[in-house]
């Protein structure tokens, strides 16, 4: 997948969805800097839409945004283990670890922390082996000067864009790899 991303970085960067992602992420980070995450329902709606947080109940969501605001106000590096414990959900009668949601919260407070989900489980390998170095550089060159995008967010976005948009096109034979 990483070689394909590198080979097809130009079409990936040309996708409107990628351009919208940059704008929406920057907007979300600016809103977070000004909002009270625990009380600002417009921020919560925007966050839930951007982070695709479907399937959680209103009590869990309220606790999540209160925790996000509490951590931000504390101003120190949050503890991921603690966040995981505090964002557990009860599904099918048993507690479940909501690691992706926990890392999303962690990323909001410290954008240098990656978001881990089913698409970015190999983040450390990508970073340590420079598997997307050239694509990261190209992506960075397309960003506005005042962007909130970090290297971690660029990696997340490249993988997301490939899997969501280019991957199916490639698999259908419409995007040829050299």
Among the listed ranges 32-36, 63-67, 69-73, 111-115, which one has the minimum average pLDDT value?
A: 111-115
Q: Does the pLDDT at position 178 exceed 60?
A: no
26 located within any domain: yes
Q: Are 164 and 17 in contact (CB under 8 A)?
A: yes
pLDDT tens string 125-155: 888 889 999 999 999 999 988 888 888 889 8
Determine the Cα–Cα distance for residues 2 and 100; give it in Å rounded to an integer. 22
Mean pLDDT of 6-35: 88
Closest CA to 61 of 73, 49, 75, 79: 49
177 located within any domain: no
Number of domains composing the chain: 1
54 located within any domain: yes
93 located within any domain: yes
Which of the two residues, 157 and 171, has the higher pLDDT score?
157
What's residue 102's pLDDT?
Answer: 84
Pinpoint the alpha helices (H) of the chain: 2-7, 9-14, 16-34, 41-50, 58-74, 80-86, 99-109, 123-128, 133-142, 151-161, 167-171
Q: Residue 60 belongs to what domain range?
A: 2-171
Token pair of 176 as six digits: 């040829």
155 located within any domain: yes
7 located within any domain: yes
What's residue 38's pLDDT?
Answer: 94
Q: Which residue has the tokens 């698409």?
A: 119
pLDDT tens string 102-131: 888 888 888 888 877 665 567 778 888 899
178 located within any domain: no
45 located within any domain: yes
Reported as a pLDDT band with limits 50, 70 and 90, residue 37 is: very high
Determine the Cα–Cα distance for residues 94 and 92; give it in Å rounded to an integer. 6
């Amino acid at each position: 997948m990483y070689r394909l991303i590198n080979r097809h970085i130009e079409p990936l960067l040309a996708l409107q969805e990628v351009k919208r992602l940059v704008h929406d992420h920057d907007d979300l980070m600016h809103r977070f800097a000004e909002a009270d995450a625990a009380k600002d329902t417009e921020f919560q709606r925007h966050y839930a839409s951007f982070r695709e947080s479907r399937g959680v109940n209103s009590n869990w969501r309220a606790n999540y945004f209160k925790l996000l605001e509490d951590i931000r106000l504390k101003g120190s590096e949050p503890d991921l283990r603690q966040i995981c414990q505090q964002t557990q959900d009860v599904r099918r009668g048993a507690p479940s670890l909501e690691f992706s949601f926990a890392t999303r919260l962690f990323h909001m407070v410290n954008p240098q922390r990656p978001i881990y989900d089913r698409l970015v489980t190999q983040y450390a390998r990508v970073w340590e082996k420079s598997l997307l170095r050239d694509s990261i550089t190209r992506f960075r060159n397309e960003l506005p000067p005042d962007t909130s995008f970090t290297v971690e967010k660029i990696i997340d976005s490249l993988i997301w864009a490939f899997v969501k948009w280019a991957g199916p096109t490639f698999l259908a034979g419409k995007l040829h790899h050299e």
